[in-house]
């Protein structure tokens, strides 16, 4: 059995070290506030700020802080080593409890912004891929069965909208992240007459927490962040699943660059969609981080409990995983090529224009249920003759319903079925073109 002492078990420096810059930024703002309110002499405060900035400069140059129990003690101990006992005055009027909550909020604010930026880049790739393939019609599916024809661009844009909601969730979550807990101290506040609004302003927070107990004891803002990341991952699993299906030679809808596939160890002819599969698999890791966060906070009494030390690793891992996933999914899609011939070859199977034919009959006054039955019989007839609906003679249509004329052929076939769509947000070429133009304006503005 591995020997592990108590200090090793209790320490968090091995993973919370990445909060160093946020910790130093918070300490600098705190000391500036202490000077402003007269709690700390300006000469001492300037010395502390200078020392903190020198530590920050060293960290940015690649120097590593000596290992301590956690990042907060590590910074403070190094500060005292550099400037002497006056460094110990940095911590008055606060606690590690509000300090760590502050650091986490600063960190998550930055990471939320980074993920939003990565989503923007990915959306731009989706829009370009949609525009480049706006003339491609493909089968649309329900229950994984051929249903109706859609523009490939329309299909791709659906993921742009999913990612848009993911982005908006993150941006909304950021509002709840961007509230300063600094000055809440351990749980009850402090007897020093501090200025919490001033530190909040210095650190770019929108407001301050209203209740000191709540400020140090809850991590709902962090759980929400991991939830938002989980939703992004969920949507990417759907995209990757379709990429895997489309790449299968049985469909052959797409070709993926060899940079994102791998060969088989035993079958030399195979190329496997490994990148899409690993992205799909990473969702389990991210979902696990969300479950860990929920479980860590579950049933905790007020106020701070050491259980909350365990929130860092799932937060950090969910961000790191999502950063990697988005950084790879974007070029994967950018390098994806639609196999137009293979897609076109599938359009006459599955009778994708049947719904449009039904709506043609409804427009002529036929009740929907009646029209549904008529088209069902026509599809069976076409199946027996092994032809698409558009190849049936006009007389067969008239035998099914004598109100049909040769105008029926204007709604048959994948091209006509797609062109017949008129509703807002539909797969009609006009509506899809509008979506693309709106997306380009939205992303350029952003």
Annotated catalytic residues are 143, 264
On whether the CB atoms of residues 112 and 201 are closer than 8 A, the answer is no
Closest CA to 414 of 396, 403, 404, 427: 427
Integer distance in angstroms from the first to the last C-alpha of the chain? 55
Closest CA to 234 of 168, 284, 167: 284
Q: Report the b/e string of 406-422 with b at 16+ CB within 10 A.
A: eebeebbbbebbbbbbe
Q: Report the b/e string of 152-164 with b at 16+ CB within 10 A.
A: bbbbbbbbbebbb
Q: Which DSSP helix (H) or strand (E) runs through 148?
A: strand 145-151
Strand partners, 180: 208
192 burial type by CB count under 10 A (0-12 exposed, 13-18 middle, 19+ buried): middle
Peptide bond into 134 cis (omega under 30): no
Q: Where are the beta strands (DSSP E) in 31-98?
A: none
Structure tokens given for 339:
């196999």
Rounded CA separation 61/63 (Å): 6
């Amino acid at each position: 059995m591995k020997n592990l002492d108590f200090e090793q078990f209790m320490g968090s420096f091995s993973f919370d070290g990445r909060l160093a810059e946020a910790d130093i930024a918070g300490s600098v703002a705190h000391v500036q506030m202490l000077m402003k309110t007269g709690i700390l002499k300006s000469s001492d405060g300037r010395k502390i700020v200078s020392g903190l900035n020198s530590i920050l400069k060293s960290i940015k140059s690649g120097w590593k802080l000596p290992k301590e129990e956690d990042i907060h003690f590590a910074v403070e101990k190094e500060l005292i080593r550099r400037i002497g006992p006056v460094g110990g005055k940095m911590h008055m009027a606060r606690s590690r409890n509000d300090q760590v909550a502050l650091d986490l909020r600063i960190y998550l604010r930055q990471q939320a912004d980074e993920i939003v930026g990565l989503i923007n880049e990915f959306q731009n790739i989706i829009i370009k891929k949609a525009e480049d393939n706006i003339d491609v019609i493909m089968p649309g599916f329900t229950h994984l069965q051929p249903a109706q024809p859609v523009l490939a661009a329309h299909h791709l844009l659906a993921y742009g909208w999913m990612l848009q909601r993911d982005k908006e969730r993150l941006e909304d979550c950021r509002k709840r992240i961007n509230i300063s807990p600094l000055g809440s101290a351990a749980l009850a506040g402090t007897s020093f007459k501090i200025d919490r609004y001033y530190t909040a302003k210095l650190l770019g927070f929108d407001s301050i927490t209203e209740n000191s107990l709540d400020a140090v004891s809850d991590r709902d803002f962090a759980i929400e962040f991991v939830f938002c990341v989980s939703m992004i991952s969920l949507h990417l699993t759907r995209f990757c699943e379709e990429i895997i299906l489309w790449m299968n030679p049985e469909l052959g809808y797409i070709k993926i660059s060899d940079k994102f596939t791998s060969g088989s160890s035993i079958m030399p002819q195979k190329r496997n969609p490994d990148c899409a599969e690993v992205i799909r698999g990473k969702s389990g890791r991210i979902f696990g981080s969300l479950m860990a966060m929920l479980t860590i906070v579950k049933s905790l009494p007020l106020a701070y409990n050491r259980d909350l030390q365990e929130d860092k690793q799932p937060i950090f891992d969910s961000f790191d995983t999502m950063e990697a996933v988005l950084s790879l999914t974007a070029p994967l899609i950018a390098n994806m090529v639609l196999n137009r011939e293979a897609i076109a070859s599938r359009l006459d199977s599955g009778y994708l224009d049947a719904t449009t034919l039904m709506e043609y009959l409804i427009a002529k006054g036929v009740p929907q249920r009646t029209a549904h039955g008529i088209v069902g019989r026509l599809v069976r007839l076409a199946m027996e003759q092994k032809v698409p609906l558009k190849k049936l003679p006009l007389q067969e249509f008239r035998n099914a319903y004598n109100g049909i004329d040769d105008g029926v052929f204007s709604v048959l076939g994948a091209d006509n079925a797609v062109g017949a769509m008129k509703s807002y947000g539909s797969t009609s070429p006009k509506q899809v073109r509008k979506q693309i133009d709106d997306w380009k304006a939205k992303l350029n503005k952003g």
